[in-house]
Structure 1
Amino acid sequence: MEKLQQSVYVLLLFSFGFAGLYFAGPFLIPVVLSAVLAMLFIRLCNYLESKNIGRAVAALLCMLAFVCCIGLVLTLLSVQLSSLAENIDEMKSRLYQLFDNLRNWLNQTAGIDKKQQEQMLKGQGNGAGTMLLGFASSVMSIAVNAVLVLVYMYLFLLYRTHIKKFILKLVARDEKAEADLVVHKAGKVSQKYLSGLAAMIGMLWILYGIGFSLIGVENAIFFAVLCGLLEIIPFAGNLTGTSITVLAVVAQGNGNDKIIWVLLTYAVVQFIQTYILEPLVVGEQVNINPLFTIMAIVLGEMIWGIAGMILAIPLLGMVKIICDHHPQLQPYGFLIGPENPRKQKTSVIDYFKKLFGKK
């Protein structure tokens, strides 16, 4: 009976915690995102400090390296987008033609004539000014949050030892060693997952680029980079990228054959990703079963939107580590973990270390 009460209390705590996360989202999203990114660069920061570079300068260099990576990707996209803009007029005319065909189809099948369709569109157009204002507000919010993430990331790297000491001060003296191990493992989970995800995205760029180029998709590199980047959003990202590519192929006036080839390319790349790239490059770094992986992504989207979907898996991996090292929470760690933890896969880094390591 006592264990049942403890379980109920834990579930209530989680419920109140999720409610707090939802209402504090505007403040917590840039903080948590920057903390996870800072964990990714801890190894690089430690390496720079081992070369007699001050912590403040090392943290600044890590932040600049991150900005340069984002800048390179955006530059590549903008270059490809400029070449895509050259054909935008032709794509517009084809889209208008498709739209006109759709209106004719609605008139013939659903009995909605063109005047009724225009009235429906006018009703939607009344909120165009509000939509434009909302879009401008969203762009400003993203820009402010991007600056906050960079500032927080730099400060987390600069004060990481101070923060770790604070966490250790919260536990009893005889539990400091266990708490230190938990903090170390939690940082490793985020670091390995994000580094593996970045490597997998790079490989997907190559695979999609080769596939789209072979079947003759215009601006193949742009759509390859876009499909790879959208992999940051689990499950929904790859479907969104492929849907955009198919829509672009339709707008470019290509036939059904090319659309089928795009879908086949997507299927082949997804097969390679699922059965080769993810086991080798990412591995089961977060050690979570698929059921709770999907549930975490859905819950993350409900609480924090797209940012929640991106952060759901590494955060749940950290929660599992905390549960595994706390006696009262170990049943929850067992529940969200894999059914056969002994058959855990390794990352590509661990694979090559094992392959070329000393026997």
Structure 2
Amino acid sequence: MSGFSLTRLIKILLFLFLLIAGLVYARPFLVPLTFAAIMAMLFLPLCSWLEARGVHKVIAILLCIIIMLCSIAGVLWLLYWQVTDLAENAGKIQENFMKRLDQVRRFISSSIGISKQKQEELIQNGQSSETIGHTVSGILSGLGELLTDFILFVVYLFMLLYYRLFLKRFVLMWVPQKDREKTSAIIENCRHVAQQYLGGLIIMIGCLWVMYSIGFALVGVKSPIFFAILCGLLEIVPFVGNLTGNAITMLMVIAQGGNFSMILGILLTYGAIQFIQTYLLEPLVVGAEVNINPLITIISLVLGELIWGIPGMVLAIPVMGIIKIVCDNIEELRPFGFLLGRERTERKTHFADRLRKWRMRREVMLDDR
């Protein structure tokens, strides 16, 4: 029995090793394909709605892609507009930054004992022409890879939407006749989870843009819309993204000559918006469809970053939600589905849940009248 268990354990570890190695090696192929698959689930209802009203399949898919591209272009235009506004004050920002840098150097010199001259030598050694050349080539290479991945993403998105029924029939052909209805239900549940998560996330990011814009404007941050968009977009990386956006905002406020009261105002804005997001927006807009417990969420984010970098962190939550649905519906994998999910005692009653129940009771009372 122990020999059998050891053999089985070795097989499982070997499978996991080969799986992770394959995911790392196939990253250039799998990242745009996975993004396209999840976005196809998001656009599927709109595409089906257009087709049901007589729009040709190709035209319907192209309209969905055009809507996505126009949305991305609109966000990029807003960022460009705000960056242009920041560039007009670049001289003042640089002056304030040099003052702050001088204060930091004095602090390092007095507390650690590294003189300003030694600090200058360290900075110059780190800014050699060879290092700068590597940095520039790395940036250009990264932009080229990003453009290639985006083109592949658009192509994959079109193909997945066009051949969606064909691919579904292909999957069902591998399943025995008696299990096809159940498999079809699993596919629909996976689509629903991805659609609910991404659709809710887009709405929540829009709400965060509005709230951060108002909060930063009241605090006195220059170009508040830029930093609001930045904080909202970074929300696609759970836990880390929002905090990173606010940290960047605080650093820019310091570089712009902001005082302690502005920093405190940004922290209070972040705390208030996090409270609203956690107890109102997430349960009301995103919902509990991706019911992954916090431990697995953090592990998924860390593994996603190690395997695929930032794209892996973005994809970790929806992919893990889909894996949980598959595990919940297959008898042999149900223990893993239980491990990924939350215990019933962990499920709190949010204010949004109470609001939803109150509205339902009110509608029942009105119907009785």
| TM-score interval for Structure 1 and Structure 2 normalised by the shorter chain | over 0.9
Equivalent residue number for residue 135 of structure 2:
131
Residues 1:268 and 2:272 are matched in the alignment: yes
After superposition, the Cα gap between the structure-2 partners of 1:343 and 1:125, relative to the gap in structure 1 and judged at 3 Å, is closer
Q: Which range moves more in the overlay, 110-119 or 210-219? A: 110-119
Question: 1:29–1:307: 8 Å Cα contact kept in structure 2?
Answer: yes
Is the 1:279–1:345 Cα contact (8 Å) retained in structure 2? no
C-alpha separation in 2, matches of 1:17 and 1:174: 30
- 1:158 correspondence with 2:162: yes
Q: Which residue of 1 aligns with 2:43?
A: 41
Deviation string for 1:4-57 (max 9, x for gaps)?
A: 679745565344322211121111101101111111100000000011011111
- Cα distance in structure 2, aligned partners of 1:142 and 1:286: 28
Determine helix, strand or coil for the equivalent of 1:271: helix
Corresponding position of 1:176? 180
Match of 2:57 among 55, 74, 88: 55
Residue 217 of structure 2 is aligned to residue 213 of structure 1: yes
Q: Which residue of 2 aligns with 1:146?
A: 150
Partner of 1:331: 335
**Are the structure 2 counterparts of residues 190 and 5 from structure 1 closer, same or farther at C-alpha, using a change threshold of 3 Å?**
farther
* Among candidates 78, 81, 98, match of residue 80 of structure 2: 78
Amino acid at match of 2:91: D
Q: CA deviation at 1:113?
A: 1.6
Which residue of 2 is the match for residue 189 of structure 1? 193
DSSP 3-state at the match of 1:338:
coil
> Do 1:284 and 1:345's aligned partners in 2 also have CA atoms closer than 8 Å?
no
Is the 1:204–1:228 Cα contact (8 Å) retained in structure 2?
Answer: yes
Q: Which residue of 1 aligns with 2:33?
A: 31
1:100 and 2:102 equivalent? yes
Rounded Cα–Cα distance in structure 1 between residues aligned with 2:317 and 2:12 = 21
Counterpart Cα distance in 2 of 1:324 and 1:305: 28
**1:252 to 1:310, Cα distance in 2 relative to 1, 3 A:** same
1:344 and 1:156 map into 2 onto residues whose CA distance is 38
- Rounded to whole Å, the distance in 1 between the matches of 2:8 and 2:78 is 51
Mark the CA change 1:351 to 1:49 in structure 2 (over 3 Å): closer, same or farther: farther
Give the deviation of 1:319 after TM superposition: 0.5
C-alpha displacement of 1:294: 1.1
Residue matched to 1:238? 242
Residue identity opposite 1:21 in structure 2: L
Query: Is residue 212–residue 224 contact of structure 1 (8 Å, CA) maintained in 2?
Result: yes
* Rounded Cα–Cα distance in structure 2 between residues aligned with 1:13 and 1:323: 17
The correspondence of residues 285-304 of structure 1 with structure 2, limited to 5 A, is: 285-304=289-308
1:36 maps to amino acid: I
Match of 1:118 among 120, 130, 140: 120
> Aligned AA for 1:278?
E
Write the distance in 2 (CA, Å) between the matches of 1:344 and 1:216.
36
Cα distance, 1:172–1:148 mapped onto 2, change above 3 Å:
same
Is the CA contact 1:287–1:344 (under 8 Å) kept in the aligned structure 2?
no
Instruction: String of CA shifts for 1:146-189, please: whole Å, max 9, x gaps.
Output: 11111111111111111111111111122111111111111111
- Counterpart for residue 257 of structure 1: 261
Q: Which runs of 5+ in 2 are unaligned?
A: none
The change in CA–CA distance for 1:269 and 1:102 in structure 2 (over 3 A counts) is same
- Measure, in 2, the Cα distance between the counterparts of 1:134 and 1:196: 35
Which amino acid in the other structure matches residue 227 of structure 2? F
**Aligned match of 2:232:** 228
- In structure 2, what is the Cα distance between the partners aligned to 1:68 and 1:285? 28
Secondary structure in 2 matching 1:79: helix
- Deviation sequence 1:237-266 (CA, Å, 0-9, x none): 011100011011111111111111111111
**Aligned-partner SS, 1:41:** helix
Q: Residue type matched to 2:203 in 1?
A: A
Aligned residue pair count: 357
Which of the numbers 21, 24, 28 marks the counterpart of 1:22? 24
Superposed CA RMSD in Å reads 2.4
Taking the aligned partners of 2:6 and 2:161, their CA distance within structure 1 comes to 40
* Cα offsets for 1:310-336 (capped at 9, x unmatched): 000000011011111111111100111
Which of 309, 314, 320 aligns to 2:313? It is 309
